[in-house]
Structure 1
Amino acid sequence: MKLKVLSASILAGVMSMACNPGKYEKSEHGITVNVTPTGENSVRKVRLQVMDDKIIRVSATPDKKFAPDNSLVTVPQKENTEYTVSETDSTLSVITSAVTATVSLSTGDVKFYDRNGKLIVSEAEGGRSFSPIEVEGTKGYTVRQVFESLNDEEGIYGLGQHQSDEFNYKGLNEELFQYNTKVSVPFVVSTDNYGILWDSYSLCRFGNPAPYKQLGQVFKLYDKDGKGGALTGTYVPAKVEEQTIVQREDSIYFEHLIRKELKHVVNLPQDFNYYGSHVTYEGEIEPSESGEFKFILYYSGYISVFVDGKEVVPERWRTAWNPNSYKFSVNLEKDKRVPLKIEWKPNGAVAYCGLRVYSPVDDKKQLDMSWWGEMQDQIDYYFIYGEDMDDVISGYRTLTGKAPIMAKWVMGYWQSREKYNTQEEVLSTLAEFRKRNIPIDNIVIDWLHWKQDSWGSHEFDRDRFPDPKGMVDSIHDMHGHVMISVWPKFYVTTEHYKEFDKNGWMYKLPVQDSIKDWVGPGYLSSFYDAYDPDARKLFWNQMKDHYVPLGIDAWWMDASEPNIRDCTDLQYRKDLITPTALGPSTKYFNAYGLMNAEAIYDGQRETNDDRVFLLTRSGFAGQQRYSTATWSGDIATRWEDMKAQISAGLNFAASGIPWWSMDIGGFCVEDRYVAAAKEYLKTGKETPDMKEWRELNTRWYQFGAFAPMFRAHGQWPYREIFNIAPENHPAYKSVVYYINLRYDMMPYLYSLAGMTHFNDYTIMRPMVMDFTADKATRSIGDQYMFGPAFLVAPVYNYGATSREVYFPAGSDWYDFYTGKEINGGQRLSVAAPYERIPLYVRSGSIIPFGPAMQWSDEKPADIINLYVYAGENGEFVLYEDENVNYNYEKGNYAVIPFKWNDEKQTLTIGERAGQYPGMLRNRRFNIIKVSKDHPVGYGRENKGVEVAYNGTAKTVKL
């Protein structure tokens, strides 16, 4: 790769020149360049604003002036940054101590350079476009901005959390909108050490700016008899006495419910019983060009896709009420007809299936980075430079807000299910954990704890929960915490709905269209307008009046996309929540979850000093500042879904939001597992499906123990480990082992939580973040680092007892269980017995393990087992504070630094810095060295060199 270098003439340009108003205007924060427009909707003004030494905001507009600043995702910056301006005959440049941003005077295109003049990233020539759009009387632009690919080996990560198991987004396409299991965040970070934050709240597309096309728009279609114009659809019912339907299909696009009835799927045969049926679409497709065609498959039920006789999509499954999308690519030749076959087994009364496609794109153009936004005032994005990928994410949080430190109990184990229906179920479940000595910190009360007809009342159904305050007190007495499900949804009969509605803060169309939910006979409801600041205050005040007096510890903000109606087209979803207080939903579609989170965070911070915790099903740029964790939604109980959560979680972490969770075991359960669980309850026999169910949960728990949040949840069968398997079963033994290990790791975990706040650290880390120079890591999305020490390699294939792991060069690695050393820079097949996840520790790691505990703060860590992994120098900082309040913001915390000198084989325990009320002033460290010549697997009882510590620095020879 040839490096493009900033010319000496730019670097040597006249600094701090007098403002030339014909070319540009200079302000306190940057410059505005005036560009001669080449057309009616071409760029007139380009503005560069210096936010930080490493952060430049770029705005571009075809208008005569810029829109007012009103970013929802960024926070006010604390101080102005010094910069200078340089001019040549063709360019203007803004120069800081770290970066230079250069604007072409003729086109307005922007290029970014580092301090040495190396080109980092560049807007593509002619890559900016504006198309006028008007929605509900509000004018704006549909925009596109393309960045040239300077390094085809670059890795690009982020964009939130999606379910197609894609990892490195270089050259890929992703549509950015919010939906159950899909969380869109318009931010990416590159291995070339820069990030782009695209400041847009509308529907966006990364990569191809166009929507996917129907098959008939891209291919010539032929049915199974060779007749042109369509494929053959054959609908075979489950019952032999019902009629088989055969019809020609000019597209495979059965993705949305009919709007008015909201019962049937558009274009599918309406009088056909889909439950248990078998549907086949078959024929041939003929492309008019050669190349790689990118498909997107939308499905519920069981589905497989075959192209040219090859199974390009092995069988996948998704529940009928919550379809999924999956992407795949196929290379095809011009004018060569190839067979296409879709095998589909719907398993619901309503069924969904769709197959759409992108035509081939020139390889070079596909590698360019393209951002498209449906409705914006102008183009607005932030260029963020860093010394490494962590530094880029730090810049992102400088712009969008720090991540607060979660309470320590948040890092413990969470137990949930859909759902605990009574007070007795809640308390008996927590009591059972305590009885069995299985550590736990939190139990979750899901939806419908209210009366059936009272969604939004925030009142418990007293028939099932007779004493809510007493229940919460009992949870606290058992040293637990409780999170409760609160939706932004209100039945029209509730007083809370009426309180919003009289102020115009409820969305009208759901009521006008008589949209009823799935509860009982179906109830009429709507969602509140979270874009209105006064509506947000009311939302919190209603919670404060009803839930806070009970002592509820955490808030589960479900359906915060917002999800008023499943399985409808995007336009109707926008219609259901428009207008917002800020303008048409087309413009603000993606930011609802951010606004809703702000309501709770700001409200609770004004109410008490307890640390806020929100769990939300949607996420957006900046959400970390509201002490919010996002979970991956109502995913399925399939091995492929478990695997997809690895890359999904890693890209979400790379999106700058450190707290992420998933439903361990998957939420939506295949019928076969339900039947197996019922059979087991009846006979006590472990059927093949029950055996697989237990193994799936075991492997998922192993993975979940190394996620930022450790939380099990899902539909029936019950998700507590003692309801999954008996005590003598390897599934039970393995899950309990990893729950215990999670608590042993608490000093390490809580220190990482401190790092997320003070150092803008990322806990769940793509391998590429720590080993960016090792190009082999750029496409590894199925293993990761958990903090600086652990390499985690989840097992996601049924029956697997081994898996391949890549050990990056530059470090050596130790098997966590045996202490055996493995040299870096190689790919190995490693053992993965049923009860263990492959887990390795990087050389130079220092890991503090605490005492055995049943909850996160059961006892002080007065003795810490400090494992030191030799082979290279290492550092770690133990962070401690009061665990539950915000006094750390006032400086009330303590840190103890550790340094390992590998050459001298010495560990220095540094002087403790800081203090806080209740601080442990004297403790012991049991130091255990692990090395090639002294392999030691992890164990609570291992004996090493014991050192008494009172806050004064000590150096220990090991």
Structure 2
Amino acid sequence: MKHPFVFTTKKNLSAIDMRTVRPRNEGRNFFHFLMTRLMLIYLFLFFISSSAVSQSYQETETGVVVHCNSMQVEIQFFSNSIVRVIKWPEGTNFKKESLSVVKSPESISLDISSENDLISLQSDDLTVNLNTNNGQVSFYKNNGKALLKEKNDGAVFVEIDDAGVKSYSVSQTFGLETDEPIYGLGFQQQGRMIQRNLEMNMIQNNTESFVPFFQSVKGYGLFWDNYSPTIFSDSTEATSFNSEVGDCIDYYFMYGGNADGVVAEMRELTGQVPMFPLWTYGYWQSKERYKSQEETVGIVRKYRDLGVPLDGIIQDWQYWGSNYLWNAMEFLDVEFPDPQRFVNEVHELNAHMIITIWSSFGPKTKQYRELDAGGMLMNISTWPESGSQLWPPRLDYPSGVRVYDAYHPEARDIYWKYLNEGLFSLGIDGWWMDSTEPDHFNWQPEDFDFNTYLGSFRRVRNAYPLMTVGGVYKNQRAVTSDKRVFILTRSAFAGQQRYGANTWTGDVVASWNALRNQISAGLNFSLSGIPHWNSDIGGFFLWEYPARLDDPDYRELYARWIQFGAFCPMMRSHGAEAPREIFQFGSKGEPVYDAIEKFINLRYLLLPYIYSTSWDVTANQSSFMRALVMDFANDPKVLDIDNQYMFGKSILVCPVTEPMYTTNGREDFSTVKSSEVYLPKGTDWIDFWTGEKHSGGQTIKKQSPIDIMPLYIKAGSILPVGPKVQYATEKKWDNLEIRIYPGANGKFTLYEDEKDNYNYEEGYYSTITFYWDDANSTLTIDDRKGSFPGMLNERHFNVVKVEKGKNTGMVPMVIDRKVFYNGGKIEVKL
């Protein structure tokens, strides 16, 4: 029940009506009339004076601003389910334009009321309460369910000198439920799924990309919008973000109902995911490094000769020559004498090339001279430190390499100008943006005092990858819409999903533990709203394997890592100290070679499924790699599983993350070993390799020879399978196999477009939706929606109902029905 003296913004009425009081009887005692008026005025003034301190607030277009506890607090509703909270010390002013947030506040109906010391703001989805005594903010569902509360007096401002500018270190503490799982925070290498009971120093580095965002199993997410080095701390008592510098506390609360919903809200806030070209989902080969154009082209030619599929080759560093010419964005090394022929030869082999570019420049480059003249180079120690290419580095010959100020719009344009002239004009297909953290060695406090375009480096440190990657994306989009932007980057920040970027997990050291750690790293990164990521298949450094490829344990590890890589958003082999091409692991007929080839081929068979999943990511804010909590939140056993996941919404992937066939330095494949797999409850599961059906909610053992990674298909799934090819676009999808996994009703939408331009943004694409009615064993292929140039107007679908012993694994299926389809709705009875 509300207090009788309550103001609401919708009605804007006082409890006391101050209209003129007119006596009924003209002869009434005037003194009585006067006393009545004075009493009413007294009551009104009493109400105003008593409520001014506890209930006074200023209404804004999006919420309220309140002065309380020596600070200003503003609540802004960006939508019915996204709320921004800003706090700043009284008597200060600031202007902030978010680097991550692109959404503008919507116009929504908001009910604002106050009672005693509490101001309540209610949208269609959320209720936000603000305590005017201490500034505490609490979030609720409109049904009264508590979601998240700040701690009493949880906002802290400590005045600091930030490179000569008065500012604050800022922190905010929240109270989570003791057993409340949370996920996200970017990716790290700790092998953790649930991000509780830890302290994390969030500053971008080679193998860790921090995103100050987490989401809860309760269906909400929280984005801490600060770019300075930040400590995230969590215990059973409190959860906090503490940032080195900020003019204000600034965070966004969002409610999505479940993990997919929270990811959708985060992308609504910070940007949607553009489509990647189809070829980026094929297989990619790389190493540190191919030293001539003949070597690089020769690798592509070797794959073609072997008949092993390949879509991309990556040219790593030093094609520019000496370290003094670092990142010149031109082929200046004598081993690359004809760059145009180099690129053309790769393309003539029906492959694509991406090339490494960095965030820094050597002192003899054109870029360095132009940026330096404009004061757009930073003074931090970075890679390479030596002008000599000898190892270890000769520091008595400093390289003079400097990082550019990516926060400066003119610097980003200069960066692109040289990239466009030197490489894009040759037909290079994409960019491997290395060291986008950027590399920062031998930190000194004064390093962070450097005055970037947006203030001290300290203030904007963690957003560097967002700015440099965004600069390339925006500039390429301005040049052409005929080629989709594709960027492989070593670091990321909130919002980077909007820039056509696939982040890899850095230079990890090869080990079985490292392989397992990539799974939880990628899943938490995906739960942070950024869906495209990958790891160096096989690990970058081989420090634990001095025998390199002669070590049987490493060969087994590589085979298992490539199996995992086949079910990541990008499948890319790369590393130092030993080459990683398939022919380095033997020849056809040998166990490790055959296992590698098998999973590369499987990746290509699944391209129609993968590309349709890519569309689901773009159009419906879905995720490629799905932590089990996303689809089975009601199964408590999946909440902390860190070594299994869903790839798309149909395939349960269970990577093998321990050695089985190597003992005392010897390989032995004679006895088949088994892996333990947990099948989430709530559905049946069909073994991809055997067709055997299992009930969910149990742990089973699956035989896992070196060429088998446990894969299970969710009952009711419809899986489109493509033709056997050597590269992604070799053959048309005019005879797709449509696999039905019975046991539940199902739905799948097949997406198709021109494969590599932005015409889809104008509606040039098609979708065909398949429905499976399990009770009636009927597949309905719906009317095709949409069209695009080059679309297949007529085709066949080879419909297969998967059954144990009949249709299994990768072998050609026994077709149940061959269906002719010309775009009209048809039903297929099986």
Do they superpose with TM above 0.5? yes
Percent same amino acid at aligned positions?
A: 39
Q: Which amino acid aligns with 1:480?
A: A
Q: Distance in 2 between matches of 1:410 and 1:939?
A: 25
For 1:702, what is the secondary structure of its paired residue?
Answer: helix
CA contact (8 A) 1:818 1:938 kept: no
CA contact (8 A) 2:740 2:801 kept: yes
Cα deviation, residue 447, structure 1: 0.6
For 2:341, what is the secondary structure of its paired residue?
Answer: helix
CA offsets 1:789-826 (integer angstroms, 9 cap, x no match): 11111111112632221111101101100010011001
CA offsets 1:302-329 (integer angstroms, 9 cap, x no match): xxxxxxxxxxxxxxxxxxxxxxxxxxxx
Pick closer, same or farther for the CA change 1:957–1:791 going to 2, 3 Å.
same
Q: Give the structure 2 partner of residue 630 of structure 1.
A: 503
1:915 to 783, 787, 795: 787
CA contact (8 A) 1:33 1:47 kept: yes
Structure 2 residue 79 is matched with structure 1 residue 52: yes
Q: Which amino acid aligns with 1:667?
A: F
Q: Which amino acid aligns with 1:24?
A: Y
For 2:350, what is the secondary structure of its paired residue?
Answer: coil
- 83-92 vs 484-493, greater mean Cα deviation: 83-92
Cα deviation, residue 373, structure 1: 1.1
Structure 2 residue 570 is matched with structure 1 residue 709: yes
Structure 2 residue 280 is matched with structure 1 residue 410: yes
1:176-325 to structure 2, matched below 5 A, reads 176-207=202-233
Q: Which amino acid aligns with 2:273?
A: A
Q: Give the structure 1 partner of residue 450 of structure 2.
A: 578
Pick closer, same or farther for the CA change 1:207–1:9 going to 2, 3 Å.
farther
Q: Distance in 2 between matches of 1:813 and 1:66?
A: 58
Q: Give the structure 1 partner of residue 492 of structure 2.
A: 619
Pick closer, same or farther for the CA change 1:676–1:607 going to 2, 3 Å.
closer
Q: Which amino acid aligns with 1:740?
A: N
Cα deviation, residue 724, structure 1: 2.2
Structure 2 residue 812 is matched with structure 1 residue 940: yes
Q: Give the structure 1 partner of residue 389 of structure 2.
A: 519
For 1:52, what is the secondary structure of its paired residue?
Answer: coil
Q: Which amino acid aligns with 1:739?
A: I
Q: Distance in 1 between matches of 2:523 and 2:545?
A: 30
Q: Give the structure 2 partner of residue 16 of structure 1.
A: 10
1:87-166 to structure 2, matched below 5 A, reads 87-150=114-177, 152-166=178-192
Q: Give the structure 1 partner of residue 372 of structure 2.
A: 501
Q: Give the structure 1 partner of residue 38 of structure 2.
A: none
Cα deviation, residue 510, structure 1: 4.4
Pick closer, same or farther for the CA change 1:88–1:428 going to 2, 3 Å.
same
Q: Give the structure 2 partner of residue 834 of structure 1.
A: 706
Pick closer, same or farther for the CA change 1:699–1:517 going to 2, 3 Å.
farther
Structure 2 residue 311 is matched with structure 1 residue 441: yes
Q: Give the structure 1 partner of residue 520 of structure 2.
A: 647
Moved runs in structure 1, 4+ residues, more than 6 A?
7-10, 19-22, 932-935
Pick closer, same or farther for the CA change 1:822–1:671 going to 2, 3 Å.
closer
1:589 to 439, 461, 469: 461
Q: Distance in 2 between matches of 1:487 and 1:100?
A: 46
Q: Give the structure 2 partner of residue 549 of structure 1.
A: 425
Q: Give the structure 1 partner of residue 621 of structure 2.
A: 760
Structure 2 residue 45 is matched with structure 1 residue 32: no
1:525-536 to structure 2, matched below 5 A, reads 525-536=401-412
Q: Give the structure 2 partner of residue 85 of structure 1.
A: 112
Q: Distance in 1 between matches of 2:60 and 2:68?
A: 17
- 106-115 vs 707-716, greater mean Cα deviation: 106-115
Q: Which amino acid aligns with 2:570?
A: M
CA offsets 1:928-958 (integer angstroms, 9 cap, x no match): 1135797744433432222111111112222
Pick closer, same or farther for the CA change 1:846–1:577 going to 2, 3 Å.
farther
Q: Distance in 1 between matches of 2:488 and 2:548?
A: 31
Q: Which amino acid aligns with 2:252?
A: Y
Q: Which amino acid aligns with 2:254?
A: I
Q: Distance in 2 between matches of 1:780 and 1:135?
A: 42
For 2:211, what is the secondary structure of its paired residue?
Answer: strand
Pick closer, same or farther for the CA change 1:498–1:399 going to 2, 3 Å.
same
Q: Which amino acid aligns with 1:31?
A: V
Gaps in structure 1 of 5+ consecutive residues: 1-6, 38-43, 209-362, 678-688
Q: Distance in 1 between matches of 2:679 and 2:562?
A: 23
RMSD (CA atoms): 2.1
Cα deviation, residue 515, structure 1: 4.9
CA contact (8 A) 1:871 1:931 kept: no
For 1:882, what is the secondary structure of its paired residue?
Answer: coil
Pick closer, same or farther for the CA change 1:469–1:629 going to 2, 3 Å.
same
Structure 2 residue 261 is matched with structure 1 residue 391: yes
Cα deviation, residue 676, structure 1: 4.9
CA contact (8 A) 1:510 1:576 kept: no
Q: Give the structure 1 partner of residue 337 of structure 2.
A: 466
Pick closer, same or farther for the CA change 1:15–1:870 going to 2, 3 Å.
farther
Q: Distance in 1 between matches of 2:222 and 2:421?
A: 41
1:823-862 to structure 2, matched below 5 A, reads 823-862=695-734
TM normalised by structure 2 equals: 0.90
Cα deviation, residue 576, structure 1: 6.4
Q: Distance in 1 between matches of 2:90 and 2:784?
A: 57
For 2:107, what is the secondary structure of its paired residue?
Answer: coil
CA offsets 1:138-163 (integer angstroms, 9 cap, x no match): 2222122121123x332211111101
Q: Give the structure 2 partner of residue 727 of structure 1.
A: 588
Pick closer, same or farther for the CA change 1:908–1:832 going to 2, 3 Å.
same
CA offsets 1:586-612 (integer angstroms, 9 cap, x no match): 111101110001110011001111100
Q: Distance in 2 between matches of 1:690 and 1:859?
A: 38
TM normalised by structure 1 equals: 0.78
Structure having the higher strand fraction is 1
For 1:647, what is the secondary structure of its paired residue?
Answer: helix
For 1:364, what is the secondary structure of its paired residue?
Answer: coil
CA offsets 1:387-432 (integer angstroms, 9 cap, x no match): 2110110000001000101010111111000000001101110001
Q: Give the structure 2 partner of residue 381 of structure 1.
A: 251
Q: Which amino acid aligns with 2:602?
A: L
Q: Distance in 1 between matches of 2:3 and 2:212?
A: 35
* Count of aligned residue pairs for this structure pair: 771
Q: Give the structure 2 partner of residue 819 of structure 1.
A: 691
2:530 to 654, 657, 660: 657
For 1:173, what is the secondary structure of its paired residue?
Answer: strand
CA contact (8 A) 2:63 2:74 kept: yes
Q: Distance in 2 between matches of 1:141 and 1:748?
A: 50
CA contact (8 A) 2:691 2:808 kept: yes
CA contact (8 A) 1:31 1:49 kept: yes
Q: Distance in 1 between matches of 2:674 and 2:538?
A: 20
For 1:184, what is the secondary structure of its paired residue?
Answer: coil
Q: Distance in 2 between matches of 1:376 and 1:646?
A: 33
CA contact (8 A) 1:527 1:564 kept: no
Structure 2 residue 325 is matched with structure 1 residue 454: yes
Larger radius of gyration: 2
Q: Give the structure 1 partner of residue 553 of structure 2.
A: 692
Q: Give the structure 1 partner of residue 90 of structure 2.
A: 63
CA offsets 1:538-596 (integer angstroms, 9 cap, x no match): 1011101111111000001101111043xx34x45x71682211111111110111000
Structure 2 residue 775 is matched with structure 1 residue 749: no
Structure 2 residue 774 is matched with structure 1 residue 902: yes
CA contact (8 A) 2:691 2:805 kept: no
Cα deviation, residue 36, structure 1: 3.7
Cα deviation, residue 17, structure 1: 5.0
CA contact (8 A) 2:135 2:153 kept: no
